[in-house]
Amino acid sequence: MGIFGEGIVYKTAEEIAIMREAALVVSRTLGLVAKHLQPGVTPASLDQMAENYIRQQKAIPGFKGLYGCPSTLLISINEQVVHGLPTKRPIQEGDLVSVDCGAIYKGYYGDHAYTFEVGEVSPEKKKLCKVTKECLYLGIEACTTSNRIEDIGYAIQRHAEANGFGIVRDLVGHGLGTKLHEEPQVPNYGRRGQGKRIQNGLTIAIEPMINMGTWKVKTLSDEWTIVTEDGLPSAHFEHDVAVVDGKAEILSSFEYIYEALKL
Ligand code: MG
Ligand code: MG
């Protein structure tokens, strides 16, 4: 079951191969969501669809039942940052919809997310999405064995703040494996050259959560949904990566989404 060191569970090549399958269960599910996400559709119906599809792939929803989570997907709209519970309130033209999904396959977790633009969204929202996705890939590029954990957040923070956006501090990326949240925490901000050295076999979810305005967030009375304090929109993209031969290999894929959206 991997090698334990300083609380981090480093994975073997065999484990990483299973984790790629787990991540791709989620990727395919996000592709299905992409196909159906349009004005008038309810988050609750997408959630049911996702659960069925995950089970068809001989996997188990990864979030449902964990920490008391009632759903398969977490769907966060506009000023909702993450952890939005799927409701029956229809999605509208112009919404930014972040869909986060987890699955367990052969005992290992996949956990990744995409923020969708529904129909025509404002140029400001478009820019927020573009920059947040760029932040994700800059974070992944920084995830090498010549760097340390905070170098990932440093790369993300630099790009987000250069664009005038706020970086959520209260929620972070994380180690991933037989547990959804393992060591280490992977903040989306950081100091250059700080934190634990990145080693081969590290498997983490990198997930910038970037706000158009303030970085500050609060939790709604449902005790799940995190929203921006100023009510401005937020975006969230997440990939699962494994460090192999010194650099990050992306285990999850946005290709199913791009295919569905004809991007
Ligand atoms: Mg996630
Ligand atoms: Mg995550």
List residues, by chain if needed, whose CB lies under 5 Å from ion ligand 2.
Answer: 111, 205
Tell me, yes or no, whether 4 lies in a domain: no
Find the domain containing 122 and state its range: 13-261
Tell me, yes or no, whether 73 lies in a domain: yes
- What was the pLDDT predicted at 4? 58
Ligand whose nearest atom lies closest to the CA of 241: 2
Residue 187 Cα to ligand 1 midpoint, Å, equals 14
Residue 232 Cα to ligand 2 midpoint, Å, equals 22
Ligand whose nearest atom lies closest to the CA of 206: 2
- What was the pLDDT predicted at 2? 55
Pairing of strands 80-82, 166-167: unpaired
CATH number, residue 70 = 3.90.230.10
Per-residue pLDDT at 70 exceeds 70: yes
- The C-alpha R_g of the chain, in whole angstroms, comes to 17
Residue 19 Cα to ligand 1 midpoint, Å, equals 15
> Model pTM greater than 0.95?
yes
Residue 128 Cα to ligand 2 midpoint, Å, equals 20
Residue 85 Cα to ligand 1 midpoint, Å, equals 13
Tell me, yes or no, whether 49 lies in a domain: yes
Over residues 202-225, mean pLDDT: 97
Q: Is 129 helix (H, G, I), strand (E, B) or coil?
A: helix
Query: Which residue, among 180, 227, 252, has the nearest Cα to 78 in the 3D structure?
Result: 227
Tell me, yes or no, whether 7 lies in a domain: no
83 touches 76 (CB < 8 A): yes
Per-residue pLDDT at 6 exceeds 90: no
Over residues 151-178, mean pLDDT: 98
Residue 208 Cα to ligand 2 midpoint, Å, equals 10
Q: How many domains are there within the chain?
A: 1
Tell me, yes or no, whether 102 lies in a domain: yes
- What was the pLDDT predicted at 116? 98
Tell me, yes or no, whether 2 lies in a domain: no
Tell me, yes or no, whether 5 lies in a domain: no
Tell me, yes or no, whether 98 lies in a domain: yes
